[in-house]
Amino acid sequence: MVSPNTDTNRGQGRTASRHFSLRSPSWTVWGVVDEAPQVWKPDHVDSSGASRRGPVTPRRAGPEDARAVADLLIGARRAAVGAIPAMVHSDAEVREWVSVVVIPDREVWLTEGGDGRLLAVLVLDGHWVDQLYVDPARTGRGLGTRLIELAKSLRPAGLQLWTFASNTGAQRFYLRHGFALVDTTDGSGNEEKAPDIRFAWTPGCRSRWKPGYLDGWTTPG
């Protein structure tokens, strides 16, 4: 996905190679951010009347999880089109990238349902939140919150990430979780060529977020 730039390290916060940029922090949790979290309970019954069990404790991913991680990434990205740019790579390319780069070279954490279904994925690359995906059918239940808090506990010195400027829902999510807006670009450094925003979190840092904080904000360029 995006390799580090010569002038900044922002590529690491998007993905792995500058020629393969999915930059999931730009769009994952897109459906979570403005919804009130639901309390997960054993045998929770959804709107269809089907029973489902609550998520289990996050665990580290292994090679056998590559397919499920890629499926979640692809599905979440497609569901977010409209709020963020469309993917510029094929499904096959994404699956290969997850299998040969993400799982072997990054710190990948999974949240699963009691039935073993993958619900959300967190990928850390050093102090960057490289990826954060939530199943579009399971948003609004605190899964994104759970994983971002896990990331903070694993990186107590601080975190950074990128979002697309068009993804105001994700921006509100991160601001509510103590991240601060530290940089904006015109998008020339990413494959989608879409304006983006860098956020950072450090212990004790207080976000300036409040309702309406982003109202009237215009994209750079």
User: DSSP code of 179?
Assistant: -
**pTM of the predicted structure, to 2 decimals:** 0.74
| pLDDT at residue 206 in the model | 62
Question: 174-201: b or e for each residue (b if 16 or more CB lie within 10 Å)?
Answer: bbbbbbbbeebbebebbbbebbbbbbbb
Q: How far is CA 115 from CA 108, 142, 144, 148, in A?
A: 20, 18, 19, 23
Q: What is the pLDDT of residue 177?
A: 94
C-beta separation of 29 from 23 below 8 A:
no
52-106, pLDDT tens digit by residue? 556 678 999 999 999 999 999 999 999 988 888 888 999 999 999 999 999 999 9
Burial bucket for residue 3 (CB in 10 Å: 0-12, 13-18, 19+): middle
pLDDT of residue 204: 78
Q: What are phi and psi of 50, to 5 degrees?
A: -80, 145
- Return the domain boundaries, the chain: 10-33+53-201
Written as one string, the DSSP assignment of 103-170 is HHHSEEEEEEBTTS-EEEEEEEETTEEEEEEE-GGGTTSSHHHHHHHHHHHH-TT-EEEEEETT-HHH
What CATH class does 10-33+53-201 carry? Answer: alpha beta
Q: What is the mean pLDDT of each run of 10 residues along the chain (221 residues)?
A: 28 35 40 33 36 71 97 94 89 96 97 93 97 91 95 97 93 94 94 94 70 45 35
3-state secondary structure 83-112: CECCCCCCHHHHHHHHHHHHHHHCEEEEEE
23-47 core/surface letters (b: 16 or more CB in 10 A; e: else): bbbbbbbbbbbeeeeeebeeebeee
Q: What is the DSSP letter of 40?
A: P
